[in-house]
Amino acid sequence: MDPQLDHRIVMCNGRSEQTDGEYVLYWMAFNRRPENNFSLQIAVDKAIALNKPLLILETLWLDYPNASARFHKFVLDGMKDNERAFRKSSVTYIGYVERDVALRERLLQKLASNACLVVTDAFPCEHMETLIKELNRLTSVSILAVDSNGILPVMVPEKAFTTAYSFRRYLQKNLHEHLLCFPRITPCSGQVLPKAPDVSSLGLTAWGCVDGNSSIISANLKSLPINHAVPPATLSGGRRAGLEILKEFVSFKLRNYASQRNSIDECSASGLSPYLHFGHISSHDIFTAVMQKVGWTPACLHHDNVSGKRLGWWGLDEDVESFLDQLITWREIGFNAAYKLNNFDKYESLPVWAKTTLADHELDLRTHLYQIHELENAETHDEIWNAAQRQLVKEGRMHNYLRMLWGKKVLEWSRSSQEALERLIYLNNKYALDGNNPNSYSGIFWCFGRYDRAWGPERPIFGKVRYMTSKNTARKLRLAEYLSRYQRREPLEV
């Protein structure tokens, strides 16, 4: 195995592979895709080395944080694509839609104990850590968790970075070697593996497993005990939809990324964050599509330009470099925090200067104070904020610039900064299709000073934390059409 891959593998226990097992099990929990997926690649390689079948179990649990019809539907769209993609290969794919949490233990036990080893996805969140611990307790099988989250393996840096500047400098010194170690695009293609036992012989269908012949989408969403008050969004999930959006982005929007990312009517942002969050596409997919479009090779890198500045290292124009800065620096600093800091999602993890200045202003007069249901129902005095909140509730997304304003305003309208933080986490992770991600926390915590510096003059409530106003936003952006699209037509009633 490529020694570079060692940086991506976490041995979850000290057990060795059981060579007399029936198959290699890849438990697909976060990298929900058949391509550009290190976990799948390693599972395929293990199956080849052991000359065993490869069984892929993609799980959709009932009790992930904020489980709702919206998130379920997005994942189910992806399962449908995956079922189709794997049908053509020699691996066996099982899309498991959980209907009863009580059956989980038996399912995992049954599948894992017949395996030579289990390969799964490393993702920095409590739910996944708990599930891996559970699997460890239930079986005596070797478990490998593989990090396929970003271009830089999360285990490589030794510390948590506190500014984008310092992380970028680190990347400019260290990223080049990881640009040479991408996953194989289609790890299953051309591989002839022994046939896995069929799903019915494992007795799994009774537990809500769907084999390659039935339609996953027929899983009756309405009957599942999840939050149906957050209904499916109109945006389709899945790899096929994600790749279409990527294609359109690279063909038409990338060339205006720097100048129009903040534009509301002609926004050049990619819209890919939900697909990244659910693992339907990877940053390797996006990086490759972008770099192929602009004809980049590693020889273009300006190795000597280790300045920590946003532009000038890749040897590309401003649009592409600005995009890569979001995709790599900003996205991966969030994973760095989630991996390195136990309390990355807690108020205490804010920088000391930010906590101090917010505490100094805790007793400042708040002209507008809202209850959580007023925020949730977009019933504030601020029409820009209300429109952004309505977009979030209805569509599961929000324009990036407005998202910053949205967060800053909740700080202004809550009784304390801790309360504001809790409210933002609640609203973002309940409704946003890209929510419940390390970058949910970096985005929200940025509103309170994370990765930022102190600003002057000192303001009421915010202190030295960067301040934003709806008035300035209205001056900067053309909002008329957006406001009319998301104006209050009927109460949201959430």
Ligand X SMILES: Cc1cc2nc3c(=O)[nH]c(=O)nc-3n(C[C@H](O)[C@H](O)[C@H](O)COP(=O)(O)OP(=O)(O)OC[C@H]3O[C@@H](n4cnc5c(N)ncnc54)[C@H](O)[C@@H]3O)c2cc1C
**Rule CB under 6 A: which residues touch ligand X?**
261, 269-273, 276-277, 326-327, 330-331, 334, 400, 403-404, 407, 428, 432, 434-435, 437, 439-440, 442-444, 446-447
* Residue type for position 74: F
Minimum gap (Å) between residue 430 Cβ and ligand X: 11
Minimum gap (Å) between residue 277 Cβ and ligand X: 6
* β partners of residue 94: 57
Estimate to the nearest angstrom the gap between the alpha carbon of 438 and the chain centroid. Answer: 7
Residue closer to ligand X by CB (options 205, 400) is 400
Minimum gap (Å) between residue 13 Cβ and ligand X: 31
Residue closer to ligand X by CB (options 351, 435) is 435
Tell which residue, 27, 19, 284, has the closest CA to residue 143: 27
3-state secondary structure 410-471: HHHCCCCHHHHHHHHHHHHHHHCCCCCCHHHHHHHHHCCCCECCCCCCCECCCECCCCCCHH
- The two most distant CA atoms of the chain are separated, in Å, by 70
Residue closer to ligand X by CB (options 214, 416) is 416
Q: Using CB atoms within 10 A of its CB, is residue 485 exposed (0-12), middle (13-18) or buried (19+)?
A: exposed
Minimum gap (Å) between residue 139 Cβ and ligand X: 33
Residue closer to ligand X by CB (options 212, 271) is 271
Minimum gap (Å) between residue 37 Cβ and ligand X: 17
Minimum gap (Å) between residue 404 Cβ and ligand X: 4
Residue closer to ligand X by CB (options 42, 398) is 398
Minimum gap (Å) between residue 439 Cβ and ligand X: 4
**CA end-to-end distance (rounded Å), the chain:** 51
Pairing type for strands 142-146 and 23-28 reads: unpaired
Contact assessment for residue 437 and residue 332, using Cβ atoms and an 8 Å cutoff: no
Residue closer to ligand X by CB (options 32, 261) is 261
Integer angstrom CA distances of residue 322 from 14, 148, 271 = 43, 23, 15
Minimum gap (Å) between residue 274 Cβ and ligand X: 8
Minimum gap (Å) between residue 62 Cβ and ligand X: 22
Residue closer to ligand X by CB (options 386, 440) is 440
Minimum gap (Å) between residue 144 Cβ and ligand X: 26
Residue closer to ligand X by CB (options 46, 239) is 239
Residue closer to ligand X by CB (options 94, 424) is 424
Residue closer to ligand X by CB (options 375, 447) is 447
* Residue type for position 439: N
Residue closer to ligand X by CB (options 80, 261) is 261
Minimum gap (Å) between residue 7 Cβ and ligand X: 21
The per-residue DSSP string of 43-101 comes to: HHHHHHHHT--EEEEEEE-S-STT-BHHHHHHHHHHHHHHHHHHHTSSSEEEEEE-S-G
Integer angstrom CA distances of residue 199 from 32, 213, 405 = 20, 11, 50
Residue closer to ligand X by CB (options 153, 443) is 443
3-state secondary structure 239-257: HHHHHHHHHHHHHHHHHHH
As given in the structure block, the two tokens for residue 325 are 């800065």
Tell which residue, 125, 78, 67, 61, has the closest CA to residue 440: 125
Q: Which residue is at the shortest CB distance from ligand X?
A: 443
Tell which residue, 154, 152, 144, has the closest CA to residue 124: 154
Contact assessment for residue 446 and residue 245, using Cβ atoms and an 8 Å cutoff: no
Q: Using CB atoms within 10 A of its CB, is residue 395 exposed (0-12), middle (13-18) or buried (19+)?
A: middle
Minimum gap (Å) between residue 325 Cβ and ligand X: 9
Tell which residue, 212, 233, 197, has the closest CA to residue 71: 233
Taking the C-alpha atoms of residue 335 and residue 326, their distance in angstroms, rounded to an integer, is 13
Pairing type for strands 92-97 and 209-210 reads: antiparallel
Residue closer to ligand X by CB (options 142, 442) is 442
Minimum gap (Å) between residue 273 Cβ and ligand X: 3
Taking the C-alpha atoms of residue 71 and residue 316, their distance in angstroms, rounded to an integer, is 36
